[in-house]
């Protein structure tokens, strides 16, 4: 089964509208016509509309960085799926370790978000990953199993293949401490086996990204691994040249 590689840049809480537009102007000449790699940028809410407009007709897709599962309601500060859909985003990244750590996002929350996102026709990127202490304590598989199995529990088997799962070991995020190819392959293959536990066909199709200190000089090696189908990139996605260098590595 050949899976189209998917490289997504997560801007986190970076870039005003003007900065986002400048980034897109720099990026499009570099990756705007790429057709063998899916390219996405995960944009803070205020800049989404501008980035959707400035990437229209290009190969670059726009993702949000969070969403609520309810259609509407008394959830001050939250954004709904219909609101994102109206902005014409391609999808949304959920369960990033920063949202889990600082904003209390739980696997139970994600199990409500995933079916709602998929039902709206948007594409989710689900982030999972273990801390250094969990890895050192031999708990990596147990942690990943808990995160993946609970998050996808209420997703129809027919929709599973539309989920992209980003395996992001927390100790590698923003630290410069990238997983070795063996570590990345082992964990991504394990994540795929968890999807296979629900549906073997979906597991063959689902894209699994590696995330954690991916840079232009390590991307090609990581993205060539059999169970790594792309990358979720933080720091190196803030600047068009380095992000394009990672897309090239795919
Ligand atoms: C991330 O924020 O998802 C990430 C992987 O960050 P970085 O590439 O900077 O490690």
Q: Which of 53, 71, 96, 149 is catalytic?
A: 96
Contact indicator for 172, 131 with CB cutoff of 8 Å: no
The upper half-sphere exposure of residue 82, i.e. CA atoms within 13 Å in the direction of its Cβ, equals 4
Evaluated on CA atoms 119, 89, 34, 180, the torsion sign reads: negative
| Model confidence at 35: pLDDT above 90 | no
Residue 242 Cα to ligand 1 midpoint, Å, equals 13
The question of whether 96 is a catalytic residue gets the answer yes
Contact indicator for 222, 214 with CB cutoff of 8 Å: yes
Query: What are 32's two structure tokens?
Result: 């705007």
Of all residues in the chain, the percent with pLDDT exceeding 70 is 100
The mean pLDDT of 95-120, rounded to a whole number, is 98
Residue 237 Cα to ligand 1 midpoint, Å, equals 9
| Model confidence at 142: pLDDT above 70 | yes
| Model confidence at 128: pLDDT above 70 | yes
What is the end-to-end Cα distance of the chain in Å, rounded?
17
| Model confidence at 170: pLDDT above 80 | yes
The mean pLDDT of 145-168, rounded to a whole number, is 98
174-228: per-residue pLDDT in tens? 999 999 999 999 999 999 999 999 999 999 999 999 999 999 999 999 999 999 9
What is the predicted pLDDT for the residue at 126? 98
> What whole-number distance in Å separates Cα of residue 116 and Cα of residue 95?
14
- Which residues line the annotated binding site for substrate? 10-12, 174, 213, 234-235
Tell me 173's DSSP state.
T
Residue ranges of domains in the chain:
6-249
| Model confidence at 1: pLDDT above 70 | no
Q: Which atom of ligand 1 approaches the CA of 166 most closely?
A: 3
Does the 6-249 domain belong in CATH 3.20.20.70? yes
The mean pLDDT of 74-101, rounded to a whole number, is 98
ipTM: 0.97
53-77: per-residue pLDDT in tens? 999 999 999 999 999 999 999 999 9
The mean pLDDT of 23-43, rounded to a whole number, is 94
Q: How many CB atoms are closer than 10 A to CB 205?
A: 15
> What whole-number distance in Å separates Cα of residue 139 and Cα of residue 1?
30
197-211: per-residue pLDDT in tens? 999 999 999 999 999
Contact indicator for 233, 7 with CB cutoff of 8 Å: yes
CA triple 245-34-14, angle to 5 deg: 55
Residues 6+ apart with CB under 8 A from 209: 6, 7, 8, 125, 164, 165, 166, 167, 228, 229, 230, 231, 232
> What whole-number distance in Å separates Cα of residue 209 and Cα of residue 53?
26
What is the predicted pLDDT for the residue at 195? 98
Helix locations, the chain, DSSP H: 17-31, 45-55, 81-86, 97-103, 107-119, 132-136, 140-152, 181-198, 200-205, 216-223, 240-249
The question of whether 68 is a catalytic residue gets the answer no
Query: What are 128's two structure tokens?
Result: 């999972």
Q: What mean pLDDT is reported for the chain?
A: 97
Residue 90 Cα to ligand 1 midpoint, Å, equals 20
DSSP-derived 3-state class of residue 210: strand
> What whole-number distance in Å separates Cα of residue 193 and Cα of residue 183?
15
Model pTM?
A: 0.97
Instruction: List the residue whose alpha carbon is closest to atom 1 of ligand 1.
Output: 234
| Model confidence at 8: pLDDT above 80 | yes
């Amino acid at each position: 089964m050949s899976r189209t590689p998917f490289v997504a840049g997560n801007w986190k809480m970076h870039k005003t509208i003007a900065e986002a537009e400048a980034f897109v102007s720099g990026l499009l000449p570099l990756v705007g016509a790429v057709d063998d790699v899916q390219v996405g940028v995960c944009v803070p809410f205020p800049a989404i509309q501008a980035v959707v407009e400035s990437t229209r007709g290009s190969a670059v897709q726009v993702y949000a960085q969070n969403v609520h599962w309810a259609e509407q309601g008394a959830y001050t500060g939250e954004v709904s799926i219909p609101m994102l859909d109206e902005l014409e985003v391609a999808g949304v990244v959920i369960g990033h370790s920063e949202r889990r750590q600082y904003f209390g996002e739980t696997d139970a929350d994600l199990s409500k978000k995933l079916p709602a996102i998929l039902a709206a026709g948007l594409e989710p990127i689900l982030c999972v990953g273990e801390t250094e202490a969990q890895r050192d304590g031999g708990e990596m598989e147990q942690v990943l199993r808990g995160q993946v199995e609970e998050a996808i529990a209420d997703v129809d088997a027919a929709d599973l293949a539309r989920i992209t799962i980003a395996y992001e070991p927390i100790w590698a995020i923003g630290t410069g401490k990238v997983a070795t190819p063996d570590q990345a392959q082992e964990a991504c293959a394990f994540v795929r086996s968890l999807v296979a536990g629900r549906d073997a066909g979906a597991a063959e199709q689902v894209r699994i990204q590696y995330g954690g200190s991916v840079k232009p000089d390590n991307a090609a090696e990581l993205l060539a691994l059999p169970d790594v189908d792309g990358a979720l990139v933080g720091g190196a996605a803030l600047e068009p040249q380095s992000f394009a260098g990672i897309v090239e590595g795919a």
